[in-house]
Structure 1
Amino acid sequence: MRATLRWAHADLRTHRGEALFIVLATAGIVTSLLLATALFGYATNPWQRVFTQSHGAHVWIHTGPSADTRRLADVDAVESFAGPYPTAATAVESRGTRAAVELRGATEQPSTGRPLLVSGRWLDPAEADGVVLESSLARSLWAEPGDTLTVPGTARTLTVLGVADSAEPRYSPGERPGLVWTLPTAVRATAGRAGQVIGLRLTDPGDTDYAVQRAVTLLGAGAVTEVSPWQQARAEAQGDNRLLGQVLGLFGLGALVAAGLAVHGAIGTRIRGHLRDISVLKAIGFTPGQVVRIFLLQHVAFALLGAVLAGALTQALGGRVPGRLGDAVGVWQGLPGHTAALFSVPVAVVLFIAATTGLAAWRAGRVSPVPGLRAAAQRGGGLPRAARGALGLRIPSALVLGWHKAFTRRPRSLATIARLALPLLLIVVAMSAWTTIDRFHSRPEQLGLAAALTVRPDGGLSDAGVRALLDRNHQVTDVHPGIQVPALVPGQTGTIALRGLGTRRDPYPFSLAEGRAASGPDEAVAGQGLLDLLDVRVGDWVRVTVGAQPQILHIVGRSIEPENGGRVISTSLDTLRENDPGLRPTLYQLQLRPGADPHRVARELTTASHGRFDVHAVTNPADRLSPLRGVVAGLIAVLALIGLIELLTAIGGTVREGERDLLALKAIGLTPRQITAVTVTATGCTALAAVVAGTALGLPLAHWLIDAQGRSSGIGAGVARGPSAALLLLFGAAAVLGAAALAAVPAARAARRRLADTLSAAA
């Protein structure tokens, strides 16, 4: 054991850089996987916790005020219900921020779908205008208990008594109204659109679609205005946190495979370079098992050190990271499975690295105790015809010999290129993700975000009056009137958004990924989420119901829809007016001049309309994905470190294998500088081949992964954007030139070795 430890210590002193790289790479991989685990837990746990503690309803059904919703309590699948509650649609304002809300009349906190107070207190019958805000609405309004809200257009005020969490779909400006609990008398005193809502908790959550269909059939399709199932609320709550977790997990696993292969290659190269040392160890009494354990224990110790370091840093500092990652780690550390994950993830990584290390170390145990003489030259070893032709064209011999050296042993050369190409491939995928996010910011019109602002005027303004106010602002270039209403899908099991935007004379510029624009009567474009929900394709006809009125539309194109999970079908305002000639636009989508500040224009429009405009900037998904940039940068650093390990291994192997050729190269008249150029060229050719392979495979893989994520989120395929050609050329040039620069020093040192040293190395 003492001899084993002394040999391991001597080997560690010789390869300190390699050991440090393995430790850092393992730490980066384990950190990525732990953060991915934290984000997955953070994405699912908060909503699940609220749903469980509130005894949440599996579906909320909004109806007209006259519907007899109490009949739903007799449906077989219903375990319990909340409500029915009277509702009224209105708007509230706080500190200059306005939000569309749904007032819901309640007196006591129900047992099903119970709001969970996070601050303040519940409604008090003694305070007729007291309200409790849903937490996401309260954050948007910057409202706290004790604040006063105003109802635009009236002298009425509301007092915030409390803030509560709810498992229902959260507030989304311009898309979904916020939830406000108040007394029934306050709801009846509101002039907004009246209705009622009932929540159903089911005996089997998997039968939600069936239960909704039964409920709609019982009440009548004309009575139901909106259906909100629990799956939709959960998906919206998870949102981008789950995407971040998927990105971290995917790249963490890819980096783990790349690191395992890099360690495998490093050990294999070291074994080939230390055959005599291994033979000596066996000659003095080391068994094959002891030789295998030397290499195995060394690299397992490096991996274990990196894993422990990553776990300690994540546990101690993870919650202090600013932004969503820090919040995710803080929540994750309080979950029941936190300790198990903190232990199992590093252990799994160490075991994987140990498995790859064992495969390479097993070869060391097979080395003979009596080293054989190396052949002076390979069998059939002559320059190929292409190399001889290149020499005949007076191409420098160092370049020709370097290229020949890089690809002489095809199995070994291909294995080296494959190991080096894997981290480069993942870097290309990460760069594509970065480019796609940047494209959302720089070219939102290409990704379904042609409009920058949404204006919702109050009911007292005519269409001509709204347009006159909007035309006064010189930053507004195009105004597209429209309307968006909830509609029931065929089967009456869910609600989608039916949107009429623009006119046939002035169509709205939808971003189409498939098909064509809707230009004729009854033609529409739909998002990927709607196509998946209805199981239809471009070219099919669909029937949706708005209240009691059916709308039959021909889907002629698939649009990129970042809103509402892609569950949107869009047509022109003219098409909707064919069924209802008196239809008036309720919103206006505004396109601005390039470089205009949407928030500044929104303030100007609000001021010019004397508060009669509710103006919101169109939500850009890239704004919610800003933490992904830091994640991608960190992953690129980890992958670059793994690539550096593999590159140093390849350089070391090339230098060692070139020692036996040193005498021959000097004998044919090559100077030490030319011999150095041979090794540098061989390394550069290997790196170039890896860059070409990584780029050629990484670009289509990146498009497939990003589009697959787009399809699963409802946005749809067609959003992926690869890095520019200039960036790819810069990336490839940096990799090749960096490899050549790293190889220059060890190659020059080997080229200047004494002849006696060379003879002993070749023996």
Structure 2
Amino acid sequence: MRAMLRWAHADLRTHRGEALFMVAATAGIVASLLLATALFGYATNPWQRVFTQSRGAHVWIHTGPGADAGSLAALDGVEQLSGPYRTAAGTVASRGARAGVELRATGAEPPATGRPLLTSGRWLDDTVPDGVVLESGLARALWAEPGDRLTLPAGRTLTVLGVADSAEPRYRPGERPGIVWALPRAVPDTRGGGKVVGLRLTDPDDTDYTVQRAVTALGAGAVTDVSTWQQSRAEAQSDTKLLGQVLGLFGIGALLAAALAVFGAISTRVRGHLRDISVLKAIGFTPGQVVCVFLVQHVAFAVLGATLATAVVQTLGRRLPGRLGDAVGVWQGLPGHMAELLAVPVAAVLFIGAATCLAAWRAGRVDPVPVVPATTAPGSGPRRTSPRAGLSRAALGALALRVPAALVLGWHQAFGRGRRAPATIFRLALPLLLVTVALSAWTTIERFDSRPEQLGHAAALTARPDVTLTDRRASALLEANDKVTAAHPGLEVAALVPGQTGTIALRGLGTRDEPYPYTIAEGRALAGPDEAVAGQGLLDLLDVRVGDWIRVTVGGHPQVLHLVGRSIEPENGGRVVSTSLDTLRENDPALSPTLYQLRLEPGADPSTVRAELTHASKGHLDIHEVTTPADRLSALRGVVVGLITVLALIGLTELSTAIGGSIRDGERDLLALKAIGFSPRQITAVTVTAIGCTALAAALAATALGVPFAHWLIDHEARTTGIGSGIAQAPPVGYIAAMSAAAVLGAIALAVLPAARAARRRLADTLSSVA
């Protein structure tokens, strides 16, 4: 054991740089996997925590004021009701911000089912009749805190008593109103009001069936909206789930690349230490001891890297900026945190150890007595072969064309080593391929910012007039601004899907004379009556295709639409069907636009236009900037940079191994090259050319495979999330060229110094190494 430790210590001192790279790469991989685990926990568990602690309802049903929602308690499978509560729609303002709200009449005691969880302040109090509690997302949008005053359009004011979390669907500006819990006397009994009731089920898996029975019992015309716990959970996960998937995918890919790098490093070390291994066996080392030395040494590197990563994430993870820090903070407070914190590093170490075993096993098979090459007769000294021996026709042709011999021999050394060259290229190409995928993800996110009109966001602003503005007056105000190129009128309503198991978004935008420019990924744009386009999420939900007819129910009225195209729909999980406002009016002439989608002049600042329109309308227009997935995925940019750094470390590890292997493989040719008059500079050029050619081949392979793979992967992910395929964007040629140039130039820079040192070795040292 003492001898084994001494040999391992001497080997470590000889290869310090390679060991450092191995530890750093392992640390980066484990850190990525831990952050991915934290994001997955952050995406799922906060909503689950709120749902469990509040005894959340599995189904929330909005009805008209005359519906007997309380009768749903008699349905089989319904364990308990939350409500029914009387509701009223309205708009509140605070500190210059406005938001649409649903005022919900409840009591001075929080309900037992669907109970909001207070995060600050207190619950409703009979002594404060105008007191309200805000849903946390609404409170953030209004910059409201306990003690603030909210203003209603009629001049009434409300006092914020508290802020609470809820497991219901979150507030979305211009799309879904925020919830305001208030005492019954503070909720006006208006004609536009209604009721909302929550159903807690004995079996959550029966949600769709229960919804269908509830809608049948109340009547389809009485139901205005249905939301289920699955939809709320998916919505809560949507902003961070993709981040976790990206980190997990790249973490696994980086783990595989690191395992291959370890395998290559040990294989190269075995070839370079055949003489030392033979000596170890000659002095009594068993094959098992030799295998143990290599295995334990590299597993120790992995353990050290995993320990460093775990310590850094545990101590400094919550201080990371943005959502990553929040995710780590939430993850550290969950019950299974410690088990995951230990399981991820252990799994990474075991994976790297498994990849190490095969190469270490090869070390144990080395003969105790070195085998003399067949081309060298005993006692005849080193080989007297010319470097031209075994050259391919292409190499000989290049020499005939007076290509410098150093370049030709370097190319031959890179690709004339049998199976070793493809293996080295593959190991180096894998991290470069993952970098290509990361660059593609970055470019796709940038596309949402730079060209949103190509990804379902032709409009930059959404304007919603209040009840005092007529359609004609609102259109005139919007079109009077010289920076607004088009103001498409429209409305969005909740529609019941066939089977009445849930609701989707039915959107009518633009007119036949001025159609809204939907982003069509499949099929064609709207051209006639009853034609519509749908998002991928809706196609999957209804199991239909482009060209089919669908039937949905809006306020008790059926609407039959012909799907002529698939549009890119980043919102609502793609569960959106869009048509023209004229088509909706044919079914119900009383419909009037409730919103306007504003397209701006190129280069116009949406914030400036918003301020100008708000001032011109004297506050009668509620205007919001259209949010894109890029806003929700902004944290992914930092993640991509971190992943590229990790992959670069792995690539440097593999390059270090390739350089060492190339120098060892060229030691025998070194004698012949010096004998025929090659200078140390020319000999250095041979090795540097070999490494440069290997890096160039790996970069070309990574580009050729990585770009189509990234395109498929991003589109597949977009399809599964409901956005739909067609959003993937290949990195600019400049990015790919820069990556390839960095790989080749970095490889050459790393190879120059060790190649120059090897070229200046004394002939006596070279003879001893090849003897």
Question: Equivalent residue for 1:13?
Answer: 13
Q: How does 1:215-254 map to 2 (within 5 A)?
A: 215-254=214-253
Say whether residues 1:113 and 2:121 are aligned partners. no
Cα offset, 1:491, TM superposition: 0.7
Question: Equivalent residue for 2:177?
Answer: 177
Question: Equivalent residue for 1:499?
Answer: 507
Cα offset, 1:750, TM superposition: 1.8
Question: Equivalent residue for 1:283?
Answer: 282
Question: Equivalent residue for 1:587?
Answer: 595
SS at match of 2:443: helix
Q: Which one-letter code corresponds to 2:205 in the other structure?
A: G
SS at match of 2:562: strand
Instruction: Give the total of aligned pairs.
Output: 761
Say whether residues 1:419 and 2:427 are aligned partners. yes
Q: How does 1:328-727 map to 2 (within 5 A)?
A: 328-376=327-375, 382-727=390-735
Say whether residues 1:739 and 2:747 are aligned partners. yes
Question: Equivalent residue for 1:135?
Answer: 136
SS at match of 1:76: coil
Q: Which one-letter code corresponds to 1:667 in the other structure?
A: A
* Contact kept? 1:90, 1:192, Cα under 8 Å: no
Cα offset, 1:13, TM superposition: 0.8
Cα offset, 1:192, TM superposition: 6.7
Looking at structure 1, the residues matched to 549 and 681 of structure 2 have their Cα atoms a distance apart, in angstroms, of 73
Cα offset, 1:662, TM superposition: 1.4
1:171-219 Cα offsets, whole Å, 9 max, x none, are 0101111011112232234x47211111111111111111111111111
Looking at structure 2, the residues matched to 408 and 121 of structure 1 have their Cα atoms a distance apart, in angstroms, of 77
Question: Equivalent residue for 1:80?
Answer: 80
SS at match of 2:522: strand
1:20-75 Cα offsets, whole Å, 9 max, x none, are 11111111111111111111111111110110011111010111111111221111
Looking at structure 1, the residues matched to 719 and 659 of structure 2 have their Cα atoms a distance apart, in angstroms, of 43
Cα offset, 1:385, TM superposition: 1.8
Looking at structure 2, the residues matched to 258 and 192 of structure 1 have their Cα atoms a distance apart, in angstroms, of 64
Cα offset, 1:486, TM superposition: 0.8
Looking at structure 2, the residues matched to 472 and 731 of structure 1 have their Cα atoms a distance apart, in angstroms, of 48
Looking at structure 2, the residues matched to 375 and 172 of structure 1 have their Cα atoms a distance apart, in angstroms, of 77
Question: Equivalent residue for 1:51?
Answer: 51
Question: Equivalent residue for 2:269?
Answer: 270
Looking at structure 1, the residues matched to 574 and 127 of structure 2 have their Cα atoms a distance apart, in angstroms, of 44
Question: Equivalent residue for 2:23?
Answer: 23
Q: Which one-letter code corresponds to 2:631 in the other structure?
A: D
Cα offset, 1:375, TM superposition: 4.6
* Contact kept? 1:89, 1:192, Cα under 8 Å: no
Looking at structure 1, the residues matched to 574 and 278 of structure 2 have their Cα atoms a distance apart, in angstroms, of 65
Q: How has the CA–CA distance of structure 1 residues 67 and 192 changed in structure 2, closer, same or farther, with 3 Å as cutoff?
A: closer
SS at match of 2:668: coil
* Contact kept? 1:175, 1:564, Cα under 8 Å: no
Question: Equivalent residue for 2:312?
Answer: 313
Q: Which one-letter code corresponds to 1:66 in the other structure?
A: G
Looking at structure 1, the residues matched to 119 and 269 of structure 2 have their Cα atoms a distance apart, in angstroms, of 60
Question: Equivalent residue for 2:147?
Answer: 146
Looking at structure 2, the residues matched to 15 and 117 of structure 1 have their Cα atoms a distance apart, in angstroms, of 58
* Contact kept? 1:525, 1:556, Cα under 8 Å: yes
Cα offset, 1:754, TM superposition: 2.1
1:414-444 Cα offsets, whole Å, 9 max, x none, are 1111111110010001111111111111111
* Contact kept? 1:530, 1:569, Cα under 8 Å: yes
Looking at structure 1, the residues matched to 63 and 81 of structure 2 have their Cα atoms a distance apart, in angstroms, of 15
Looking at structure 2, the residues matched to 80 and 728 of structure 1 have their Cα atoms a distance apart, in angstroms, of 59
Q: Which one-letter code corresponds to 1:141 in the other structure?
A: L
SS at match of 1:188: coil
Cα offset, 1:681, TM superposition: 1.4
SS at match of 1:629: helix
Looking at structure 2, the residues matched to 375 and 739 of structure 1 have their Cα atoms a distance apart, in angstroms, of 34
1:683-730 Cα offsets, whole Å, 9 max, x none, are 111111111111111112211221122112211111111111121112
Looking at structure 2, the residues matched to 494 and 399 of structure 1 have their Cα atoms a distance apart, in angstroms, of 68
Looking at structure 2, the residues matched to 487 and 428 of structure 1 have their Cα atoms a distance apart, in angstroms, of 42
* Contact kept? 1:510, 1:559, Cα under 8 Å: yes
SS at match of 2:492: strand
SS at match of 1:733: helix
Cα offset, 1:573, TM superposition: 0.9
Q: What's the RMSD between the two structures over aligned residues?
A: 1.5
Looking at structure 1, the residues matched to 675 and 563 of structure 2 have their Cα atoms a distance apart, in angstroms, of 76
SS at match of 1:723: coil
For normalisation by structure 2, the TM-score amounts to 0.97
Looking at structure 2, the residues matched to 265 and 57 of structure 1 have their Cα atoms a distance apart, in angstroms, of 55
Looking at structure 1, the residues matched to 679 and 516 of structure 2 have their Cα atoms a distance apart, in angstroms, of 70
Cα offset, 1:619, TM superposition: 0.9
1:513-536 Cα offsets, whole Å, 9 max, x none, are 111101111111111111111111
Could you tell which deviates more after superposition, 405-414 or 311-320?
405-414
Looking at structure 2, the residues matched to 705 and 400 of structure 1 have their Cα atoms a distance apart, in angstroms, of 39
Cα offset, 1:390, TM superposition: 2.1
1:482-508 Cα offsets, whole Å, 9 max, x none, are 111111111111111111111111111
Cα offset, 1:381, TM superposition: 5.9
1:61-95 Cα offsets, whole Å, 9 max, x none, are 11111111122111112111111111111111110
Q: Which one-letter code corresponds to 1:268 in the other structure?
A: S
Question: Equivalent residue for 1:123?
Answer: 124
Could you tell which deviates more after superposition, 622-631 or 463-472?
463-472
* Contact kept? 1:542, 1:554, Cα under 8 Å: yes
Looking at structure 2, the residues matched to 462 and 612 of structure 1 have their Cα atoms a distance apart, in angstroms, of 11
Question: Equivalent residue for 1:70?
Answer: 70
SS at match of 1:197: strand
SS at match of 1:518: coil
- Note the residue ranges of structure 1 that are not aligned, 5 or more in a row: none
Question: Equivalent residue for 1:98?
Answer: 98
Question: Equivalent residue for 1:200?
Answer: 199
